[in-house]
Amino acid sequence: MRFLRSSLAFLALLPRAFAAFGVTTSGSNLIVDSGAGLLTTINTANGDITSLTFNGKQLQDSSKFTQLSSGLGSASVTSSVANNVAKITITTSTITHYYIVQSGVNTLYIGTFASAEPTVGELRFIARLSKANVPNGVTINGEQVSEVNGGTAIEGTDVFLVNGQTRSKFYSSVPFIRDQVHGVTGSGVGVYIIVPSVSYESSSGGPFFRDINNQGTAQQELYWYMNSNHEQTETYRTGFFGPYAMAVTTGAAPSANLNTTFMDSLGLQGYVAASGRGTVTGTYSGTLAGTAVTIGFKNSAAQYWIAGSGGTFSRTLMKPGTYTVTLYQGELEAGTASVSVTAGRTSTVNIASSLSVPNAIWRIGTVDGTPAGFLNADKIETIHPSDTRMSNWGPITFTVGSSAATSFPMAQFKAVNNPTTIKWTATSAQIGARTLRIRTTEAFAGGRPQIIVNSFTSAAPAAPPAVDSRGVTRGTWRGLNQVYDFAIPAGTLTASSNTIQINTISGSAGDAFLSPNFVYDSVELF
């Protein structure tokens, strides 16, 4: 009898790796067992994941659950098991959401079909996990930039001061083109979201759009945002989002190469298998040497992108349709073309830059759609502009020929560092009628530049297109690129010292870093 009790005690300590794969029903729950240690419990009334255990360790928070958007409220939940694959289908009038588990694999493969955007404007998957068991959030440059627990809100309800440093869930974001795997970890466990490039096809915003990946509060929140209005620059798409996945490991990050071919035969609503897709190859030309090149594709139903190299590119796995092709120099739209994609075939398109980049007398910055190289641009993605780790914003005086680009402000705020002054000593061959061109990457509250050159004041340009969101204080410079050309009349410049003053103007008001502002791409005189 003692031997039997000892044996039972020993068996109770064994990991669940020997459990049977499949789906069982327990009251109002479906329990999905991977057969390899991952046990997922799904509420049949609404589709919430209420328990997520890995080798006996509870990863799910007990007070807030893992769900789509902020919860579906109510839903129809069904399951099926065939060929060592378990499929859970969660449906509402506008959503069909899938959790799929392969026997022996500790990964939830996920797909979301949406025929309409949620009324809150955010289509997202959010895993609310146990802070005790996965305490380590997304880390960027060695810091958990989105750990806000215990902090004091300093902007809205999403930017916090924590131990003297600014933190925000927005600072966990990474441009889509680079965001394939992100996750959170604890002792002997890691939970990761995997998003293959093709999974962004029904999202919006393009390759350089970014959105929240993580927030550490009383829970550890792990996200994949499919659509939101966080600096939204184009209309939402609907359709099938994914396949994406939530992988549970013993700590190490999984590969970004997510093999989903087994899903081709599962009958997922809106899902298009590889056999129903086509390829585009082509060439590009005319971009600035040394600047990264990206080729983007978009129509009302889908978006894709691929890095260019050596003047050529090849993009696979595109749904059939006609696409606008965009050539990006850095993050700046440099040229467009059109191409039609047919399933099972390869189409060809050649695209050239049509950017106007004159031979400038002088240029500050690089014409690439980013403020890279400017003052505080190296910090702005993960730190609020008010953070004490930022360099002093100014106002700045920049002297052409002697000042470094790193002293020129990446953003100009009406109530903080207005104006920016440029000093320049001209030769007699450089005066006369000239043009000052200012390129910007985004604007807030109608912020845009107006210039004063010596005694000449330019006309005030029209307000830029509005984007209904904060931008640079949320860690992004990616908005709508604008070009402002200011004609400087003959007789204004002198063959000696000249002063150019750039002012932020707007019909709107605001305090400090929420005052009207814009982000610089480049400034050039020609």
Cα atoms in the 13 Å half-sphere on the side-chain side of 17: 3
C-alpha 93 chain-centroid distance: 28
pLDDT per residue over 73-127, tens digit each?
999 999 999 999 999 999 999 999 999 999 999 999 999 999 998 877 689 999 9
Cβ contacts of residue 408 below 8 Å, gap of 6+?
A: 364, 365, 374, 375, 396, 398, 420, 520, 523
Kindly list the distances between the CA atom of residue 154 and the CA atoms of 8, 471, 475, in Å, as whole numbers in the listed order.
Answer: 55, 15, 15
When the candidates are 2.60.120.10, 1.10.340.30, 3.40.50.10790, 2.70.98.10, the CATH number that belongs to 17-256 is 2.70.98.10
Distance between start and end Cα atoms, the chain? 94
Q: What is the structure's pLDDT at 404?
A: 98
pLDDT per residue over 371-413, tens digit each?
999 999 999 999 999 999 999 999 999 999 999 999 999 999 9
Tell me the two tokens of residue 487: 């004609």
Q: Say whether the peptide bond before residue 135 is cis (omega within 30 degrees of 0).
A: no
Q: What is the structure's pLDDT at 12?
A: 40
Average of per-residue pLDDT values in the chain: 95
pLDDT per residue over 417-457, tens digit each?
999 999 999 999 999 999 999 999 999 999 999 999 999 99
Does residue 7 carry a pLDDT above 70? Answer: no
Residue 227 in contact with residue 68, Cβ under 8 Å? Answer: no
pLDDT per residue over 130-162, tens digit each?
999 999 999 999 999 999 999 999 999 999 999
Q: What is the structure's pLDDT at 229?
A: 85
Quick one: residue 200, left, alpha or beta (phi over 0 = left, psi -120 to 50 = alpha)?
A: alpha
Give mean pLDDT, residues 500-526: 97
**Which residue type, as a one-letter code, is found at position 290?**
G
Q: What is the structure's pLDDT at 232?
A: 87
Which residue(s) pair with 292 in the sheet?
none
Q: Where exactly are the structural domains of the chain?
A: 17-256, 274-352, 362-525
Does residue 254 carry a pLDDT above 80? Answer: yes
**Stretch (H or E) spanning 30:** strand 29-33
Local structure of residue 465 (DSSP, 8 states): P
Q: Which fold has domain 362-525?
A: Jelly Rolls (2.60.120)
Tell me the two tokens of residue 137: 């959030």
Domains 17-256 and 274-352 share a fold: no
pLDDT per residue over 461-470, tens digit each?
999 999 888 9
CA distance 218 to 168: 14
* CATH code reported for the domain at 274-352: 2.60.40.1120
pLDDT per residue over 331-348, tens digit each?
999 999 999 999 999 999
Q: What is the structure's pLDDT at 386?
A: 98
Indicate the pTM of the whole model.
0.93
